[in-house]
């Protein structure tokens, strides 16, 4: 008897038996299925080399933007300084401050855009800025303060978790420039440059997000910073007490909504007076069991706005020397996750650079080109997901499809058979064949995992490929059955499958 089964959303936090979705969704992306509310899976692209130019050391931050002519600009920071991607040959060009070398270290570079400026800070050096229209060298924005985090709002440049020559390290301090005077940092009611300490046991500042108001993510709370003018200038209100961001590297804002990792899982904050958990009952426990918490500093996060996806790249317990080896992927339109193998060490949202036909010669052959001729990669200013290796080599997610793995929930199939025929006895079944429904020109092979006891070991059938009718011939006996699909080639979407099962003999 044929039994229809959908794949459903990825739910690794729930038991396999009677799971409402799938237990494995690896190297695939969550997508909208054929029917209302259905979840399907699309392929995850492999990375393809964009430029093998190197940085002096591991990338510690990146930002992209455009000049007033719309030309894309990409900058990255490492321990030795700040660099930009040269449009002519895609090499990293040193655009560090010319006056003196930077202080090195492992502190991350955090960036914001202020008009045509890209502004970065890494706590051990003064905040740096470069005019993307001139694109020559970074220089000191100010020497009065250093900071870990930076944003802008209402004409102010705002830094947080600061260090200055008077008070040293103050991890709960916010400081801002003069209004429309990003290089003026002397305290003044005239310019409105000032600072505020956030006391009260909320912990250190973990990140800061600009906008109409400013949101400050503390270790144990979320604080809103509202402009009220002189003499107060900014008003500070604790909006979310008792819950904050535990991993600064996890925090990202997309379309005005901020996503981050707290001690107990992933959250989204939309600026209101409440938080929403996005991983509870889905992936929180799975992630927290697998992540190497000692290597959180190597985490990076980036968005692919064209596909409404957020990627967290991180080191798992199986990672070698802390090198990131996994990615958690969140479709913020659907509210669903998948995971993937990390092929790069650092991810960021980049923009495409302007190109000429002559510049394509550096790739030598068509096969070496990082994207097809009709790709947005060849038009300047388009946002795109990008990555870097530890060396600084640049990669784009434009390669062939990765090999996808989807593992379904586990079912007591006899119950489905008895719904079709109440006269069926016993509780064991034999799966005789399986038919996966996968769109595109790729290949799929399937196997069935079965066990007799809900706490027993799973025994897997041999892999089987579909015949001309789409059926994979499999003979597998048990009480509880699950399906594993391995997807390769140019498939476009995996949606559902069918079991063909019969009752097993009983006494």
pLDDT per residue over 192-231, tens digit each?
Answer: 999 999 998 789 999 999 999 999 999 999 999 999 999 9
Q: Are 345 and 390 in contact (CB under 8 A)?
A: yes
d(CA 127, CA 175): 12
Find the range with the poorest average confidence among 2-11, 162-171, 380-389: 380-389
d(CA 320, CA 315): 8
Tell me the pTM: 0.93
pLDDT for residue 381 is more than 80: no
The pLDDT confidence band at residue 358, using thresholds 50, 70 and 90, is very low
- Residues 134-180 pLDDT 10s: 999 999 999 999 999 999 999 999 999 999 999 999 999 999 999 99
Question: Three-class SS of residue 359?
Answer: helix
pLDDT for residue 369 is more than 70: no
How confident is the model at residue 357, as a pLDDT?
43
Task: Return the percentage of the chain with pLDDT > 90, whole number.
Answer: 85
d(CA 110, CA 150): 6
pLDDT for residue 378 is more than 70: no
Provide the edge-to-edge strand list for the sheet that holds 128-131. 110-114, 117-121, 128-131, 139-140
Domains of the chain: 2-43+403-503 (2.60.120)
How confident is the model at residue 506, as a pLDDT?
52
- Residues 255-299 pLDDT 10s: 999 999 999 999 999 998 889 999 999 999 999 999 999 999 999
The pLDDT confidence band at residue 366, using thresholds 50, 70 and 90, is very low
Residues facing 237 on adjacent strands: 224
- Residues 486-504 pLDDT 10s: 999 999 999 999 999 999 8
Q: Which of 491, 489, 478 is nearest to 499 (CA)?
A: 478
């Amino acid at each position: 008897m044929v039994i229809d089964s959908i794949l459903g959303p990825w739910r690794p936090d729930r038991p396999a038996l009677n799971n409402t979705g799938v237990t494995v969704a690896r190297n695939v992306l969550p997508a909208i299925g054929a029917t209302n509310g259905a979840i399907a899976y699309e392929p995850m692209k492999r990375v393809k080399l964009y430029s093998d130019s190197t940085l002096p050391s591991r990338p510690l931050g990146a930002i992209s933007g455009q000049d007033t002519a719309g030309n894309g600009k990409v900058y990255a920071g490492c321990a030795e300084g700040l660099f930009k991607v040269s449009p002519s040959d895609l090499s990293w060009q040193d655009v560090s401050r010319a006056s003196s070398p930077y202080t090195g270290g492992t502190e991350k570079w955090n960036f914001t855009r202020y008009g045509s400026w890209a502004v970065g800070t890494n706590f051990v050096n003064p905040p740096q800025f470069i005019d993307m229209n001139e694109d020559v060298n970074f220089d000191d924005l100010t020497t009065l303060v250093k900071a870990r985090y930076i944003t802008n709002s209402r004409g102010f440049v705002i830094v947080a978790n600061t260090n200055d020559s008077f008070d040293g390290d103050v991890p709960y301090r916010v400081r801002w420039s003069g209004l429309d005077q990003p290089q003026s940092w002397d305290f003044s009611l005239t310019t409105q440059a000032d600072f505020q300490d956030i006391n009260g046991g909320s912990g250190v500042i973990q990140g800061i997000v600009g906008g109409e108001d400013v949101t400050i993510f503390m270790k144990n709370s979320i604080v809103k910073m509202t402009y009220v003018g002189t003499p107060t200038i900014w008003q500070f209100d604790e909006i979310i007490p008792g819950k904050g961001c535990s991993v600064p590297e996890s925090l990202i804002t997309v379309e005005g909504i901020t996503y981050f990792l707290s001690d107990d899982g992933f959250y989204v904050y939309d600026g209101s007076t409440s938080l929403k958990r996005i991983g509870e009952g889905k992936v929180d426990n799975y992630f927290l069991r697998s992540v190497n918490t000692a290597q959180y500093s190597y985490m990076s996060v980036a968005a692919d706005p064209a596909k409404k996806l957020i990627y967290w790249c991180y080191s798992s317990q199986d990672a070698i020397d802390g090198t990131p080896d996994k990615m958690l992927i969140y479709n913020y339109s659907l509210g669903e996750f998948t995971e993937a193998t990390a092929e790069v060490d650092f991810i960021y949202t980049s923009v495409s650079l302007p190109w000429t036909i002559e510049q394509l010669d550096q790739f030598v052959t068509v096969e070496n080109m990082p994207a097809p001729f009709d790709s947005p990669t060849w038009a300047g200013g388009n946002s795109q997901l990008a990555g870097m290796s530890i060396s600084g080599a640049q990669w784009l997610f434009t390669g062939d499809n990765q090999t996808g793995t989807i593992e379904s929930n586990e079912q007591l199939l006899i119950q489905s058979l008895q719904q079709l025929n109440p006269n069926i006895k016993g509780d064991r079944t034999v799966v005789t064949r399986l038919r996966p429904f996968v769109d595109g020109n790729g290949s799929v092979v399937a196997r069935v995992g079965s066990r007799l006891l809900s706490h027993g070991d799973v025994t897997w059938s041999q892999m089987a490929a579909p015949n001309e009718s789409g059926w994979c011939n499999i003979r597998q006996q048990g009480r509880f059955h699950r399906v594993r699909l391995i997807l390769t080639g140019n498939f476009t979407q995996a949606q559902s499958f069918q079991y063909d099962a019969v009752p097993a003999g009983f006494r």
